[in-house]
Amino acid sequence: MLVASRKHNLKHRYGITEEKYKQMLVEQNYACKICGQLPDRCQTKPDKCQTKPDKPLYVDHCHLTKTVRGLLCHQCNIALGHMKDDPVRLEKAAHYIRRTTALNNHADLNISPTNCAA
C-alpha cells in the first residue's frame, strides 16, 4: 500500500487513485511507458517488483490539461521536463543524436546509442 502522502499526491496532483496507479503499473508491465525499463529493484530483485520498487514510476501528465499520459522512469520524466514537453524539440534532439559522428561510428561496433549516455 502506498503511504498516505503518496496517495494524497496521486489524488490531488493528478486526479487518480492508488488503485488507478496500480492498474496503470499492470497495464505497462511495471515498466516506463517511454523506454520500457523497469524501476531499479525490478532489475535487481524481480520478486520485489510488484510490491515495493525502490523508485516508483512517476506519473507523467500534460501541464496544460493535467491529463495523465502514463508512468515514466526518473530519466524519461526528467528528459521530458527539460525538453519542456515539446515534441518538436524532442524530435530535433533525436535527429541531432542520430546524425552525430560519434554515434555513427558506434554503429559499426554494434553499441546502442543509449549506452553512450552512461
pLDDT tens track for 84-102: 999 999 999 999 988 885 6
Q: Are residues 48 and 8 in the same domain?
A: yes
Residues 32 and 73 in one domain: yes
Measured CA to CA, the distance from residue 49 to residue 56 in angstroms comes to 10
Q: What is the pLDDT of residues 20-57, one digit of tens each?
A: 999 999 999 999 999 999 987 565 555 655 555 556 89
Tell me the H-state helices in 15-86: 18-27, 40-44, 74-82
Please check whether residues 71 and 92 belong to one and the same domain: no
Does residue 118 belong to any structural domain of this protein? Answer: no
Q: How many CA atoms lie within 13 A of 68 on its CB side?
A: 17
- Give the three-class secondary structure for 97: helix
Residue type, 112: S
The per-residue pLDDT for 4 is: 73
Pair (60, 92) in one structural domain: no
- The grid cell for 12 is 490531488
pLDDT score at 96: 92
- Let me know whether 77 and 107 are in one domain: no
Mean pLDDT on 60-86: 94
Say if 13 falls within a structural domain.
yes
Same domain for 78 and 90, yes or no, is: no
Contacts of 10 (CB under 8 A, 6+ apart): 2, 16, 17, 18, 20, 21, 59
At residue 56, the pLDDT reads 83
Percentage above 70 pLDDT, the chain? 69
Domain of residue 107: give its range: 86-113
Same domain, 28 and 78: yes
pTM for the full predicted model = 0.73
Q: Identify the pLDDT of residue 42.
A: 61
Residues 58, 39, single domain; the answer is yes
Lowest mean pLDDT among 15-19, 57-61, 85-89, 108-112: 108-112
Q: Rounded to an integer, what distance in angstroms lies between the CA atom of residue 84 and that of residue 31?
A: 23
